[in-house]
Amino acid sequence: MTGMRPQVVAHRGASFDNAEHTLGAYVEAIRDGAEALECDVRLTADGHLVCVHDRDLRRTSSSNGLVSTMDLADLDQLEFASWKNPWADMDDEAVERDPDLDKVLTLRRLMQFVADADRPIELAIETKHPTRYGGLVERRVAEALAEFGWTGPNSPVRVMSFSYVALQRMQRLAPRLRLVMLVEKARHWPRLKPVLGDRWILGPGIQQLTKHPKFAQKLLRTGRDLHVWTVNTDEELDLCRFLDARAVITDRPRDVLAWLDASPGAMTERVRRDLETRRSPLAGSG
């Protein structure tokens, strides 16, 4: 454990201050210095991949419809940002927004945004399951990556999922692509461990690592890279650095980068104190 510097990945864009999955959130993430972007994808009724987390639109748009039952043209008529700051119209000092940045975001447009960036940016795509379209989601993702020439080992893209079946499917479609097995609960680990692909990355949640020290130890013993979500405090970042996480997925990329710059060499003094008092998740045996 070296306290290495992890890659900073913007979770649904810079989503702490901006409406998630809007192009505006990703523009802000790049301005903040994020080194990679994360998105969730779902398939519309007419076969387009869109960046939306929930299966329905009640939380993040002006509609309560299901993504899978709507065409892209219908989604394109909706607004996806005002929920984040519902009082903006009453704020005389609020910055005037570009409506084009607040529309539904297709995966293709986000990929083009990454391709056109003025510095190398990676993209972590999570396919959402269960869905009525099953394996068609991964097939459409693979087709989009192929169009950009992003299916090889040097692709800026990695694909993630909580479904090992989805990752196995993705591995067949794009054998050289990096894949991340997301782990929602520590208790799921015994069931997931036997089905992991040889080169799959592990994606545990920070809360599970914090609450279950032995779970963190078990993941470390696999020798696999760790990409941890969703890391939003300096204490959580310290733990990720102690675990040598290769990537941290965060709603607050600007803050995480600032914390890393404040302690560029290794872990912060807080982690060292935790180790001394045996409060670190990895200080015990087992």
Q: Which of 11, 21, 48, 227 is catalytic?
A: 11
pLDDT value, residue 98: 79
Q: Which residues contact 243 (CB under 8 A, 6 or more apart)?
A: 1, 209, 216, 219, 220, 226, 228, 282
> What is the model's pLDDT at position 284?
47
What's the rounded mean pLDDT across residues 146-169? 97
Q: Which residue has the tokens 């989805």?
A: 166
Give the mean pLDDT of the chain: 91
Residue 202 confidence (pLDDT) above 60: yes
Q: Is it the case that residue 276 has pLDDT exceeding 60? A: no
pLDDT digits (tens, 9 = 90+) for 230-261: 999 999 999 999 999 999 999 999 999 999 99
% the chain with pLDDT above 90:
81
Catalytic position from the list 21, 48, 53, 188: 53
Does 3.40.50.720 match the CATH number of domain 7-276? no
pTM (predicted TM-score): 0.91
11 is catalytic: yes
Instruction: For residue 275, name the pLDDT band (cuts at 50, 70, 90).
Output: very low
Would you call 53 a catalytic residue per the annotation? yes
Residue 27 contacts by C-beta under 8 Å, 6 or more apart in sequence? 13, 101, 113
